[in-house]
Amino acid sequence: MVLLIAAGLMINSLLRVQRVNPGFDSSNLLTMRLQLPEGGRYMQRVPGGDMERAAPQVTSFFQQLVERVNALPGVASAGSITSAPGRFAMEHSFTIVGHPAPPADQRPNAGYTECSSSIFQTLKIPLKRGRYLDAHDSGAAPWAIVVNETFVHRFFPEEDPIGRQLLIRYDPYPVDEERPRVIVGVVGDVKQHGLGRDTPPYIYTSNLQQPAVFPGGTILGHLRQDLVIRPAPGIRTEDLTLAVKKVVFDLDTDQPIEQVMTMSQVLDRSTEDYRVFMKILGAFGAFAMLLAVMGIYGVMSYYVSQRTREIGIRVALGAETTDVLALVIRLALKLSLVGIAAGSLFALGVSRLLIGFLYNVTPSDPLTYAAVAATLLAVALVAAFLPARRATKVDPITALRYE
């Protein structure tokens, strides 16, 4: 009962996770990762400190990549983003310009990503207020950002966020960006960290509006981009991947493409923990079910053999087949209900160890307990049926001679 309830809770969690709205249209999307190398023509270390300078070629590479991929036949839309939904995302702290500055160790945090202006249309992330980032958000324009609804609910619960400014810090380095960023739009929440995790406050910045110098290893977020492509209907993924590889080769002959996956595969990976635990607990639960069948069958067979004389007397005195069946099944039912009740109480305590792995399911979920109890009860009755049926075949004369 304990193992089956644990498996049932994980199955219930997985089913609920798979029905979660990711916050964008995840169908018919292809993703691939490009990581520009640290050094060479893309990055130089600043002498005398832990600072790294990004070369203009970084922005130029990703800008040309998105433009050329959008121009490919069979591409409906394409965009780039530091971390596609379902993959690792960076976090930075920030202060709100005009609000009292909190202590350094109490600054609020939010997810942070660079992206091309076309990423919102490619992913079909809904716009809730203001505008998306666009081509006018260049390096010469005021630095703009778009935030998600969770960000607004947490930091601007009673204010209009449009037009407010943030000063972002490159944690864990005590270095603020050289200029504030103004909020120009609010978009819907995206399950950035995976379907089974809460949506964090999130900030989207233009990859055209980035500083020239980054502290420490924070430049990695500028050198890495996930290319997200929405193909036109009927386009084969393999053909499109080859075309994109040719575009990348034309831009940089030494640049590889990694992690070519559909968005469905990326989101499936974000539920891998649920699948692993479900399979492990399911395997143990199936083994427990097998032991239950064998145990109940053995006990009822022993019960029938021990009461063969009594059953024979009952038959000799006129007991019907249904009476003999009821005698055996009644005992099996009583023992099973006692086992289910005891197992349920024990499972209530043990299942709380799974609370960190459950999604929208409580450790005492009544539907799961009822389903497992009904399954075990049905299995117990089936396991008891064969010995009960054998008991109805007892010959009264043979049974009366039985010692």
pLDDT higher at 34 or 402: 34
Same structural domain for residues 146 and 265? yes
pLDDT at position 402: 53
Cβ pair 64, 212 in contact under 8 A: no
Same structural domain for residues 143 and 190? yes
Backbone angles phi, psi at 21, to 5 degrees: -75, 120
Lowest mean pLDDT among 5-9, 167-171, 336-340, 397-401: 397-401
pLDDT at position 335: 85
CA dist., res. 65 & res. 77, Å (int): 13
Same structural domain for residues 363 and 306? yes
Same structural domain for residues 71 and 116? yes
Same structural domain for residues 263 and 320? no
The last residue of one of the domains, among 270, 285, 300, is 270
Residue 25 maps to a domain: no
Residue 246 maps to a domain: yes
Lowest mean pLDDT among 101-105, 222-226, 391-395: 391-395
- Residue-range definition of the domain harbouring residue 296: 273-401
Same structural domain for residues 336 and 391? yes
Is 362 a residue whose pLDDT tops 90?
no
- Identify the three-state secondary structure at position 393: coil
A 10 A CB-CB count for 403 gives 4
**Among residues 64, 62, 7, 53, which one has the least CA distance to residue 33?**
62
Contacts by residues 232-237 (CB-CB < 8 Å, ≥ 24 positions apart): 232/74, 232/75, 232/76, 233/28, 235/74, 235/75, 237/30, 237/262
pLDDT at position 248: 94
Same structural domain for residues 198 and 49? yes
CA dist., res. 191 & res. 208, Å (int): 25
Q: Are strands 43-46 and 165-169 parallel, antiparallel or unpaired?
A: unpaired
Query: Helix crossing, 321-350 with 308-316: angle to 10°?
Result: 140
Is 242 a residue whose pLDDT tops 70?
yes
pLDDT at position 395: 66
Percent of the chain with pLDDT over 90: 38
Same structural domain for residues 245 and 282? no
pLDDT at position 228: 96
Is 89 a residue whose pLDDT tops 80?
no
The last residue of one of the domains, among 270, 288, 322, is 270
Residue 260 maps to a domain: yes
Same structural domain for residues 257 and 244? yes
Lowest mean pLDDT among 13-17, 216-220, 306-310, 395-399: 395-399
Same structural domain for residues 225 and 309? no
Residue 148 maps to a domain: yes
Query: Which tens digit of pLDDT belongs to each residue from 324-354?
Result: 778 888 888 888 889 889 989 988 888 888 7
How many distinct structural domains can be found in the chain? 2
pLDDT mean across residues, the chain:
86
Same structural domain for residues 266 and 281? no
- Going along 97-151, which residue ranges are E strands? 109-115, 127-130, 144-148
Cβ pair 93, 109 in contact under 8 A: yes
DSSP alpha helix (H) spans, 130-236:
149-155, 220-223
The last residue of one of the domains, among 208, 239, 270, is 270
pLDDT at position 184: 96
Residue 370 maps to a domain: yes
pTM for the complete prediction? 0.79
Query: Which tens digit of pLDDT belongs to each residue from 131-156?
Result: 999 988 988 899 999 999 999 999 99
Residue 33 pLDDT grade (very low, low, confident, very high; cuts 50, 70, 90): very high
Cβ pair 274, 196 in contact under 8 A: yes
Same structural domain for residues 223 and 92? yes
Q: What is the mean pLDDT of residues 289-318?
A: 78
Q: Is the preceding omega at residue 47 within 30 degrees of 0, hence cis?
A: no
